[in-house]
């Protein structure tokens, strides 16, 4: 029976600090080895049980986000067979390599589990490859196509700057541009990270294998990476997921905020957000 109770949910940006493409399955999906953390910035949702499914999308990044059955927030409710009225305040750019849709889906699943008492479903990767990590919601290593998760409990909070240079990159197109599908994974055992600086130094020795095809499709990714690398205090810069969002890591939030001001002044049209990753 319908109730008025609204569960509020937060859907943080997912950042792939590394993204090694290590193989390809028979169905064409690629095998990954990726270290993922989450930002303290994301979409905000309200979820209520309802007689019929409904979705309203608002917020600064709402333009172009589907409001029909293609929206992953609605698909998540349908996946567990619950009618929900959902409000989605969009703060994350879409098709940006930071998992906005997957994180929204995970937030809806969590909210509906709380409202109905149902357990979280299995096989959530069928909703989208990133949904299991977004349900996990904190620093994690993902392998397979995203369904094999190992906790990464020793990562320090990382001051970071996220920049999206205003170009949408569909994930499938970026994977299609990969020249090599069998690249080395990360080491079996990850080191212990004692500070943001130590973690950034190690991350510099890792890769995002999708960066080259993304840069070829959207040269502005390279422009944004160069701009970040030149900001004061930046240890390293890399693309997240299949792009086009890029990030840089700093020792302090003050450095990330100062870098944001520099990038905003030079590129007023870009999406520029200092955050902390955890």
Ligand X SMILES: C[C@@](CO)(OP(=O)(O)O)[C@H](O)COP(=O)(O)OP(=O)(O)OC[C@H]1O[C@@H](n2ccc(N)nc2=O)[C@H](O)[C@@H]1O
Ligand Y SMILES: Nc1ncnc2c1ncn2[C@@H]1O[C@H](COP(=O)(O)OP(=O)(O)O)[C@@H](O)[C@H]1O
Residues near ligand Y, by CB under 6 A: 65-66, 70-73, 94-102, 104, 171, 241-242
d(CA 162, CA 98): 10
Which of positions 174-213 make contact with ligand X (CB under 6 A)? 175
Is residue 135 within 8 Å of 113, Cβ to Cβ? Answer: no
User: Is 243 a known ligand-binding residue?
Assistant: no
Residue 133 annotated as binding site: no
Q: From the CB of 205, what's the least distance to ligand X, in Å?
A: 20
Is the Cβ of residue 63 or residue 266 nearer to ligand Y in the bound state? Answer: 63
Q: Per rule CB under 6 A, is residue 218 in the interface with ligand X? A: no
**DSSP E strand stretches across 146-206:** 148-151, 158-164
| Max CA distance (Å), the chain | 57
Residue 253 site contact among ligand X, ligand Y, none (CB < 5 to 8 Å, cut-off depends on kind): none
Residue 33 annotated in active site: no
Find which of ligand Y, ligand X, none residue 94 binds, CB within 5 to 8 Å per kind: ligand Y
Residue from 33, 43, 104, 130 carrying the catalytic annotation: 130
> Is 130 one of the annotated active-site residues of the chain?
yes
Q: Smallest distance from the beta carbon of 143 to ligand Y, in angstroms?
A: 18
Q: What residues contact residue 122 under an 8 Å CB cut-off, 6+ apart?
A: none
Closest to 241 measured CA to CA, from 220, 211, 219: 211
Q: Provide the minimum distance between the beta carbon of 194 and ligand X in the complex, in angstroms, as a whole number.
A: 26
Cβ atoms of residues 77 and 84 within 8 Å = yes
Return the number of the residue (99 or 159) whose C-beta is nearest ligand X.
99
- Tell me whether residue 97 is annotated as binding: yes
| Burial class, 92, CB count within 10 angstroms (exposed 0-12 / middle 13-18 / buried 19+) | buried
94 labelled binding-site residue: yes
Is position 99 annotated in a ligand binding site? yes
* 84-89 and 54-58 strand pairing: parallel
Candidates 102, 124, 164, 231: give the one binding ligand X (CB under 6 A). Answer: 102
Rounded Cα gap, residues 197 and 183, in angstroms: 26
Query: How far apart are alpha carbons 231 and 229 in whole angstroms?
Result: 6
- Interface residue list for ligand X (CB under 6 A): 16, 19, 29-30, 32, 34, 97, 99, 102, 128-130, 145-146, 171-172, 175, 241-242
Question: Which positions are catalytic?
Answer: 14, 130
């Amino acid at each position: 029976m319908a109730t008025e109770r609204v569960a509020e949910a937060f859907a943080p940006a997912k950042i792939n600090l590394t993204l090694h493409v290590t193989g390809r399955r028979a169905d064409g999906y690629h095998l990954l080895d990726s270290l993922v953390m989450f930002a303290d910035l994301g979409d905000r949702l309200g979820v209520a049980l309802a007689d019929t499914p409904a979705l309203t999308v608002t917020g600064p990044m709402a333009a172009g986000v589907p409001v029909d059955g293609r929206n992953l927030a609605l698909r998540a409710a349908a996946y567990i067979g619950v009618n929900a009225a959902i409000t989605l305040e969009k703060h994350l750019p879409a098709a940006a390599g930071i998992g906005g849709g997957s994180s929204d889906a995970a937030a809806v699943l969590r909210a509906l589990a709380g409202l109905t008492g149902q357990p979280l479903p299995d096989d959530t990767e069928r909703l989208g490859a990133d949904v299991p990590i977004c349900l996990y919601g904190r620093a994690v290593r993902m392998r397979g196509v995203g369904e094999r998760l190992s906790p990464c409990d020793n990562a320090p909070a990382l001051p970071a700057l996220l920049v999206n240079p205003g170009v949408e990159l569909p994930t499938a197109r970026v994977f299609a541009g990969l020249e090599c599908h069998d690249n080395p994974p990360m080491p079996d055992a990850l080191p212990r990270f004692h500070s943001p600086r130590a973690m950034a130094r190690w991350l510099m020795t890792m890769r995002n294998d999708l960066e080259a095809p993304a840069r070829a499709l959207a040269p502005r990714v390279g422009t944004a990476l160069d701009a970040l690398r030149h900001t004061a205090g930046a240890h390293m810069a890399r693309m997240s997921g299949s792009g086009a969002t890029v990030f840089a890591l700093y020792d302090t939030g003050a450095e990330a905020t100062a870098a944001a001001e520099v990038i905003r002044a030079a590129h007023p049209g870009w999406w520029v957000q200092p955050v902390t990753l955890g």
